[in-house]
Structure 1
Amino acid sequence: MTGFPTEATAFPPGFTVEVFAAAFEASPTPMVVTDPRRDDNPIVWANGAFLGLTGYGRDELYGHNCRRLQGPATDRTTLNRLREAIGQGRAFECELLNYRKDGTPFWNGMTVNPVRDAAGEILYFFSAQADMTDKHRLEAAMRDANGALEREVGERTADLRFALEQKTALLHEVDHRVKNNLQVISSLMLLKARRTPQGEARDALQAMADRIGALSTAHRMLYQEGDAARFEFREFADDLIADLAAAHGPGSAHGPCAARVESEMEPLALPAAMAAPLALLLHELAGNALRHAFPRERAGRVRVSARRSGESLELAIEDDGIGLTAGPPNPTGFGRMLVEMVVRQLRGTIAWSEAEPGTRVAIRVPLPADGLR
């Protein structure tokens, strides 16, 4: 190796400069040595693997700077960092686009290290190199594949989003039409009730019209929700309670009621399938309290509360009226049976109790795993 250090103390006994040079020459790793003490830091030695990598002969490399391997697409920023490291005598690693003698580009992964003498002076720069072209080709192929996959996923997502929007619009349209049909049915029943003489038949028609109206309100709320799969129970209940209060106000068919309705609800996103049963429960229990718990325009309060408890919804309707046992018996009453039937449909439990004063109804309904937000 021309110009390479020859101090015997640099090698163990029996390991001569010639053996050292032969080992480097036989290495499959491309290697090159430059001399920064000469003008333009030229190449002073390269092994056979480096010649095979670049396509140059030794006579075409020795005495020339490594920039001979650079070309139009060689990254200038990386080159500047390499020059700065060499100028400061630091080690440097990079991957640089170089060009073979025939102009073929290849990615050159290199590590450059200074070689110092015993006094710390830099004698040479040694660089081991590797052809990283296949790696960059694979990375480019992966980027292309990822880009194609992202485009495909984006297109599929857009299709799914459109399909979901169409499905949501269809479900909202169904809710809207069901609401309109229920309103028509409720109106017809109210009209028939007004033309029916006072008595049991008229009361039954009025009660059924009110229940159908509650279902209509449920579908109206679902129609207004942005998410067709869930609804916000607090807003839903407040709307139903407002309708109930109006239905029992001055001039209503049920007669005036001096009791007020209060609500205390946690924000709960519930499955849309629960809207109609819960509407019936609220209408039946709160409406029944307003109709029967406060006779002769007695003042009072009906309180509706809902909260999450574990994986269940706890719903309570309580009043401070006359209580369960004080009211007149109603052998033809349908409300309590309807409430208990709906609770069973929801796989829940219900407990009726005296609140002293008043009545308390506590309902516990299990929720699906995704039934709460």
Structure 2
Amino acid sequence: MTGFSKGASLPSGVTVDVFAAAFEASPTPMVVTDPRRGDNPVVWANAAFLTLTGYDREELYGYNCRMLQGPHTDAGVLQTMRTALRAGRPFEGELLNYRKDGTPFWNGMTINPVRDEAGEVVYFFSAQADMTDKHGLELALRDANDALEREVGERTADLRSALEQKTALLHEVDHRVKNNLQVISSLMLLKARRTPEGETRDALQAMADRIGALSTAHRMLYSEGDVSRFDFKEFTNDLIADLAAGLDEDRTRIETEIEALALSAAMAAPLALLIHELATNALRHAFPQERQGRVFIEARRCEAGMRLVIQDDGIGMASAPSNAAGFGRTLVEMVVRQLRGTLDWSDAGPGTRIAITIPLTGADAP
């Protein structure tokens, strides 16, 4: 290692030549520069450094290491390195360097100042490593990640398009079902008007009303943005508005207290049929002979799912006339079973109270 100061103390029996031999044999590329000379030239390099760069010693000694720089060497990193060296501070970083034959490689380097006994920087010692494979791996990973992101983006776009098509299809189905149900309801009402008064006419009228309730359910689903769910509060209020449209509010009225619930679209039709049947039954039978009263509908979350209560302050079940041909109670019990719920009829004193508990599972659970 020609040119090194021998001022530093060494272990007994160890000479600078021993260190020089060790550094020369090291597989780590090493280079030493002398800042006391003009342009801080290379004064020593080991065999590993020669192998890394492709230069001979004669081509390196006396020249600055900038010969390894090229068109794509990062100017920002160079400036940081130069600032550190001018201040006599260590530097650690990676640079894109070029071998003698012009081949680029990523050079990972640590540069440390070597000081004499007076504290002056007499050399800079740098250990280096070829980081090209690491950068190649990082580039490959980045390309793979970019490709994966593109694929995910394309798949997401495909899924979004498929979902939009499904949503449009379901909306169209709800719209057509609603229209068909309205037609059927209208035909049944027309038939009822042409039928003499009696049980047959009443049955036709009741069935037309029930079909109308189902039509309202599909109309509400058609207006929802999410085809898989619906807002039960808005849904019920809209359904009750249809029922209350023909009422004399000075005599009978419907009041509601509905908690906002997002329910599965599959529950819309049975719930519409259930609420319509119970509310209509109360309005028809709880207030005979121009009796005044109200029907109260309440729906809230409960531990089991949803608690639906329909109560009137009318004459009560015991006083209501029996109807052997009536289908309403049977229909209500069938719908509650379909919803896997429980049903409780009781005397409200005055009036009748029907309490229904409906389990909610998965996304419908409170």
What TM-score does the superposition give when structure 1 sets the normalisation length?
A: 0.92
Which residue does the alignment assign to 1:4? 4
Residue of structure 2 in register with 1:249 after alignment? 247
Given the alignment of the two structures, is residue 304 of structure 1 paired with residue 297 of structure 2, yes or no? yes
1:161 Cα deviation from its structure 2 partner: 1.5
The yes-or-no answer on 1:120 pairing with 2:113 is no
TM-superposed deviation, 1:99: 0.5
Q: Do the aligned partners of 2:8 and 2:117 also contact (CA within 8 Å) in 1?
A: no
1:177, CA displacement in angstroms?
0.9
Contact map agreement 1:194 1:202 (CA 8 A) in 2: yes
2:286 to 293, 297, 308: 293
Q: Equivalent residue for 2:71?
A: 72
266-275 or 121-130, which moves further after superposition?
121-130
The verdict on how the C-alpha distance between 1:223 and 1:60 changes in structure 2, with shifts beyond 3 A counting, is same
Per the alignment, residue 316 of structure 2 pairs with: 323
Tell me: CA distance 1:302–1:119, structure 2 relative to 1, closer, same or farther (3 Å): farther
Give the letter for the 2:350 counterpart.
P
> SS state of the match for residue 178, structure 1?
helix
Q: Quote the offset at 1:257 in angstroms.
A: 7.4
Three-state SS of the structure 2 residue aligned to 1:370 is helix
Task: Decide whether the 8 Å contact of 1:34 with 1:43 is kept in 2.
Answer: yes
What pairs up with 1:154-233 in 2 under 5 angstroms?
A: 154-233=153-232
CA displacement 1:288-311 (0-9 Å, x = unmatched):
222222333433332222233356
Residue identity matched to 2:347: E
Q: Structure 1 residues 310 and 132 mapped into 2: Cα distance closer, same or farther (>3 Å)? A: farther
> How far 1:153 sits from its partner (Å)?
1.9
The aligned counterpart of 2:265 is 272
* Aligned residue in 2 for 1:61: 60
One-letter amino acid matched to 2:349: E
Match of 1:104 in 2: 103
Distance apart, 1:115 and its partner CA: 2.4
Q: Which 10-residue stretch deviates more, 42-51 or 11-20? A: 11-20
In the other structure, the counterpart of 2:347 is 354
The 3-state SS of whatever aligns with 2:325 is coil
CA contact 2:304–2:357 (8 Å) conserved in 1: no
The C-alpha deviation readout for 1:239-269, integer Å capped at 9, x for no partner, is: 11111111x425xxxxx87222222222222
The 3-state SS of whatever aligns with 1:296 is coil
**In structure 1, what is the Cα distance between the partners aligned to 2:229 and 2:363?**
10
Q: 1: distance between equivalents of 2:161 and 2:116?
A: 71
**Residue 118 of structure 1: how far off its partner (Å):** 4.4
Q: Which residue of 2 aligns with 1:141?
A: 140
Identity of aligned residues (%): 74
Per the alignment, residue 253 of structure 1 pairs with: none
User: What's the TM-score once normalised by structure 2's chain length?
Assistant: 0.94
Match of 1:37 in 2: 36
Between 1:197-206 and 1:114-123, the stretch displaced more is 114-123
Distance 2:307 2:42 in 1: 83
Aligned amino acid, residue 233 of structure 1: F
Name which of structure 1's ranges 184-193 and 310-319 shifts more when overlaid on structure 2: 310-319
Which AA in structure 1 matches 2:318?
T
Call closer, same or farther: CA 1:202–1:136 in 2, change over 3 Å.
same
Residues in 1 aligned to 2:45 and 2:330: alpha-carbon distance in whole angstroms: 97
C-alpha separation in 1, matches of 2:30 and 2:302: 72
Identify the range of structure 1 (290-299 vs 91-100) with the bigger mean alpha-carbon deviation.
290-299
Q: CA RMSD in A?
A: 1.9
Which range moves more in the overlay, 164-173 or 320-329?
320-329
Report the Cα distance in structure 2 between the residues aligned to 1:356 and 1:115, rounded to whole angstroms.
101
Rate the CA distance shift 1:319–1:91 in 2: closer, same or farther, 3 A.
farther
- CA distance in 1 between counterparts of 2:36 and 2:292 reads 105
- Taking the aligned partners of 1:12 and 1:326, their CA distance within structure 2 comes to 116
SS of equivalent to 1:151: helix
Residue 356 of structure 1, CA deviation = 2.9
Output the CA distance in 2 between the equivalents of 1:331 and 1:54.
104
- 1:297-345 per-residue CA deviation (whole Å, 9 max, x = no partner) reads 4333322222333562222222333333232222222111111111111
Q: Which ranges of structure 2 fall in alignment gaps of 5 or more residues?
A: none
Contact 2:55-2:100 within 8 A present in 1 as well? yes
Supply the distance in 2 between the matched residues of 1:152 and 1:69 (Cα, whole angstroms): 40
Q: Distance in 2 between matches of 1:293 and 1:111?
A: 93
Please give the secondary structure, in 2, of the residue aligned with 1:356. coil
CA distance in 2, matches of 1:65, 1:326: 111
Q: Is the 8 A contact 2:247 2:253 kept in 1?
A: no
Q: How far apart in 2 are the matches of 1:139 and 1:344? A: 61
Do the aligned partners of residues 334 and 257 (structure 1) sit closer, same or farther apart at CA in structure 2, a change above 3 Å counting?
A: farther
1:52 Cα shift? 0.7
